[in-house]
Amino acid sequence: GAGVSQTPSNKVTEKGKYVELRCDPISGHTALYWYRQSLGQGPEFLIYFQGTGAADDSGLPNDRFFAVRPEGSVSTLKIQRTERGDSAVYLCASSLGFTSYNEQFFGPGTRLTVL
Amino acid sequence: KNEVEQSPQNLTAQEGEFITINCSYSVGISALHWLQQHPGGGIVSLFMLSSGKKKHGRLIATINIQEKHSSLHITASHPRDSAVYICAVGFFGNEKLTFGTGTRLTIIP
């Protein structure tokens, strides 16, 4: 079956613009995670969903960042008034359940560049 | 403050060498994952450990709960093993994963 997919693969935007990043998880995976990875760093947790609800959004850096998963499948990460510091690779992962024992399956990421 | 530390940050070795990458963490964990990330590519899960040792092909992962330390070993290393290897842990009471900064491994033919 298909793995986790993310679109777009690359996004270049100007400072102050709004962007949406999409994640299609593996079918049947109830848990979905968003991470951000800066150059030379490991992924940094942003938010995770169990079903349709955000179970933990403690990693979102500020209120410019928001994510939804309205039907418990596809998720969209939304960034308002983008800043140059938002430039990073945004990774999505899904798993069958939310515990640290569950294997997470990662998408290829969206590389966001804010000019 | 990153509670997961990996060493070395960079490692270059000749093809065929035995490779060891280390991960240490600060407090008790419920699970530890080793992940592989190829340049420009996605992240692939290699192992999940909560105790003991696991082996898959040329890869071996061990964890010492008392010492709060895990190692990833690669036997008979090959250039295709060149990648970034990342350790990630789930801390008790906070099951989301915290990631190390990764170890960049380069195997020279």
Place of tokens 């613009």: A17
The pLDDT value given to residue B6: 96
Is any Cβ of chain A less than 8 angstroms from the Cβ of B86?
Answer: yes
pLDDT band at B75 (very low <50, low <70, confident <90, very high): very high
**In this predicted model, what pLDDT tens digit does every residue of A2-25 receive, in sequence order?**
899 999 999 999 999 999 999 999
Distance CA A61, CA A32 (A): 18
End-to-end CA distance of chain A: give it in Å, rounded.
37
Is any Cβ of chain A less than 8 angstroms from the Cβ of B30?
Answer: yes
- Test B42 with A109 for CB contact under 8 angstroms: yes
**In this predicted model, what pLDDT tens digit does every residue of A60-100 receive, in sequence order?**
999 999 999 999 999 999 999 999 999 999 999 999 987 87
Residue B88 has pLDDT above 60, yes or no: yes
The pLDDT value given to residue A100: 79
Q: How many CB atoms lie within 10 A of CB A89?
A: 19
Chain mean pLDDT for chain B:
92
User: B27: which 2 tokens?
Assistant: 């407090």
Contacts of B101 in chain A (CB under 8 A): 40-42
Backbone φ and ψ of A93, nearest 5°: -140, 155
C-beta separation of A100 from B97 below 8 A: yes
The pLDDT value given to residue B35: 96
- Test B48 with A103 for CB contact under 8 angstroms: yes
Is any Cβ of chain B less than 8 angstroms from the Cβ of A63?
Answer: no
Size of interface A-B (CB pairs under 8 A): 63
B80-106: average pLDDT: 90
- Test A106 with B43 for CB contact under 8 angstroms: yes
C-beta separation of B42 from A106 below 8 A: yes
